[in-house]
Structure 1
Amino acid sequence: MSTDEPLYRRDPHAWQEHLAEGNARQARKRVGADAILRDSQGRILLVDPDYKPDWDLPGGMVEANEPPLNGVIRELKEELNLELSTSQLALACVDWVSPHGPWDDSLMLIFDGGQLDTDQISRLQPDHNELKRFAFLAPDTARQRLRPYIWLRLEAALKAVESHTVAYLHDGNTG
């Protein structure tokens, strides 16, 4: 092969090393994946974690190299003993969160899981290593219990679900 050939043709092994080096220098982002889950009355499921002061949506941080949809499914199983499949969840919101406090930027996703049936609700069991309790709350009550930026994200996600779209936010805001 001629030396005019690109590296990927000339030396595939060297090309892979070049890509790995570039990958190692690229930014890494934290990714969180939460779920909107409702009961038959339209109330929203919130959880009360014992490791932070405020209520939250069920879900959590996605592990390294884990697809966000799989991450939220795993978190729901771990936190609440709730088993859902990928076909039961649809992306409703992506929120880019700028660096704040000790945290770098992150992507926070909300998936819509729709309405849980009475059997699913009866089997919910909080992991007491992470959660104090859970509750289905009317949107106004949920707003009072959630941190303001979480409420903004949830509110945008709920509107996106109603309009069959996906909301894209920057720090909880559309603009």
Structure 2
Amino acid sequence: MIVWLNGTFGAGKTTAAHELLDLLPGSTLYDPELLGSGLRLMLPAKRFEEVDDYQDLPSWRRMVADTAAALLTEVPGPLVTPMTLLRQEYRDEIFGSLAARRIPVLHVLLHAEETILRARIAHREETPGDDGANAAIRRWSLAHLEPYADALPWLTDDAHVVDTTRLTPRQTAERVAEAVRAGTGACDIVQTPEPTAETLAAGVLLFDDQDRVLLVDPTYKAGWEFPGGVVERGEAPAHAGVREVAEELGIELAHPPRLLVLDWEAPQPPGFGGLRLLYDGGTLTEERIGKLLLPGAELRDWRFVTEAEAEQLLPPVRWNRLRWALRARERGCPFHLEAGVPVG
């Protein structure tokens, strides 16, 4: 298990984490910030100039889950992880990757009133005697208060909240230990095993009466997606698409969906690629749209979007696949793509 202590700078994550080690037998401190420091030493300086924070590096986000899995082969656990995580898509990527390894996550938000946070940051001294370094750290910490406020709606919905405004670090740790024992804040994320070889996946495009396409927001990976999933061994792809729509959204398709796109996705390490099929599931009536269901462990949200809106939400590879699928729907014939480019 990972006990992830989230919160902005000044919330008391690090001090509470050290106190928590005394309260959770067998626990180990796991600080992903060390991975960022390591990457700063190993990656070219130019790469860091391209991002605002080491969390923006895909390698860091992958290493967080990989390192946790490795550590848990060496120690009994749990891992206590004091780490600010304000971008929901990064939470999805990291926690989803941990879930795929069957590593449960207890997400705890340490929160304090802004006036308290500012006071704590003002008195924070990371490097004794180095006023310049400490001033830079304070500026950095204060700059994160606004992004933290913006992230609060999803954080408070996702995590168990412990208000540290009037708590000592020990009292905070005691509240977190109680949550651990009660299982409060456990992230219920679908466990989607990471592929070990090429995969075959089927997605289904569903439309409303304005010809907008339905996208869903998975809890276990970053970015919006089409309803659908990996085709199981021995399963027909079209049947897999129908099954996934029923499981994810509670929608039973009356007719087999029509193929729009077959796309070979090139392997991009650590991904293995494979065949991706998109089908036309037809237009949903307002009544059926009103009955859409979301499994909380798998999907967070859904929305109908125009083609232009989809371009802003989907990762480039999925967007390109959708673009060709919409052209195929207009023309009434499917497209065969290889790495997103039509063949022939």
Equivalent residue in structure 2 for 1:117, among 279, 285, 288: 285
Secondary structure of the 2:282 match is strand
Q: Distance in 2 between matches of 1:102 and 1:82?
A: 33
**Cross-structure match for 1:61:** 230
Q: Distance in 1 between matches of 2:248 and 2:299?
A: 7
* Cα deviation, residue 104, structure 1: 2.3
* Structure 1 residue ranges without an equivalent (≥5): 1-27
Structure 1 runs of 4+ aligned residues shifted over 4 Å read: none
8 Å CA contact 1:95–1:109 kept in 2: the answer is yes
Considering fraction of residues, name the structure with more helix.
2
Q: Deviations over 1:74-130 (max 9, x none)?
A: 110111111113x24100000001111223231000000121111211110111110
Q: Distance in 2 between matches of 1:50 and 1:146?
A: 15
* Structure 2 residue ranges without an equivalent (≥5): 1-196
**Cross-structure match for 1:108:** 276
Supply the RMSD in Å over aligned alpha carbons: 1.3
Letter in 2 for 1:174: P
- TM norm structure 2: 0.42
Larger radius of gyration: 2
Q: Deviations over 1:44-67 (max 9, x none)?
A: 100000111100111111111110
- Report whether the alignment pairs 1:161 with 2:329: yes
Equivalent residue in structure 2 for 1:90, among 258, 262, 286: 258
Letter in 1 for 2:270: P
Give the alignment of 1:1-175 within 5 angstroms.
29-85=198-254, 87-174=255-342
8 Å CA contact 1:150–1:172 kept in 2: the answer is no
Q: Number of residues paired by the alignment?
A: 147
**Cross-structure match for 2:111:** none
Considering fraction of residues, name the structure with more strand.
1
Q: Deviations over 1:147-168 (max 9, x none)?
A: 0110110110110111111111
8 Å CA contact 2:217–2:225 kept in 1: the answer is yes
| Relative contact order higher in (CA < 8 Å, ≥ 6 apart) | 1
8 Å CA contact 1:37–1:114 kept in 2: the answer is yes
**Cross-structure match for 2:123:** none
Q: Deviations over 1:8-65 (max 9, x none)?
A: xxxxxxxxxxxxxxxxxxxx74111001111011111000001111001111111111
